[in-house]
Structure formats: structure tokens, C-alpha cells
Structure 1
Amino acid sequence: MVGQVEKSPVLLTVLGFVAIVVSAIILVIIAITIVGLPPIALVAGMLFIVA
């Protein structure tokens, strides 16, 4: 597995990007369901994406 990752940095980059997008979406969903305030969810999501 490690050898394959070293041979294909593009795959590693794509997986990392997908992981970031999925994490941001999950964060927004959790914020909306728990807090119930979409504006806070949007702000948190944007801060997470910027960071």
C-alpha cells in the first residue's frame, strides 16, 4: 500500500482533497442537525475550508 502511494502522488492528492470535502460536508450536516442554525453551519464550514 505504501509503495503504491509513493508511486502515485496524484492519487494521494485526490484522496486528500476528497477527504477534506467530505469532512466539510459532515461538519455542516452535524452543525445544522445539532445546532439547528444554518448560518452558523455555513460560517463554520467556510472557516474549515479556508483553513
Structure 2
Amino acid sequence: MNNHNEMASHYDAGQQSFTTEDILWAAGIWSVILSLSPVIVFYMLMVA
């Protein structure tokens, strides 16, 4: 239960301001999307 409360408080703090962890998550997700998008487009062009 204590761990759940800590996660909830961290989530509430994350809603108000960006933390370093949130920025790293966003950067990681966007880097994956940007790196995969040319591959997906190339695959679509080859199949179509």
C-alpha cells in the first residue's frame, strides 16, 4: 500500500510539472517513433 501511495504522489507531482523522468520517457518514445517512421513508410511503399 505504501508503494501505491508513493506512486500516486509522484503521479500528482508529474501532472503539475515535468520531471526529468518524464522528459526522458518522452525523448525515448519520440526517438523510437522518428527512427521507425522511415522504415514504416518504406515498407508501405514497397508493399503498395
TM superposition score normalised by structure 1: 0.50
Aligned residues: 35
How many percent of aligned residue pairs carry the same amino acid?
A: 6
Superposed CA offset, 1:11-38 (max 9, x none):
00000101110111221110111114xx
Partner AA of 1:20 in structure 2? W
Higher relative contact order (CA 8 A, sep 6+): 1
Letter in 2 for 1:30: I
- Structure 2: gaps spanning 5 or more residues: 1-10
CA RMSD of aligned residues (A): 2.2
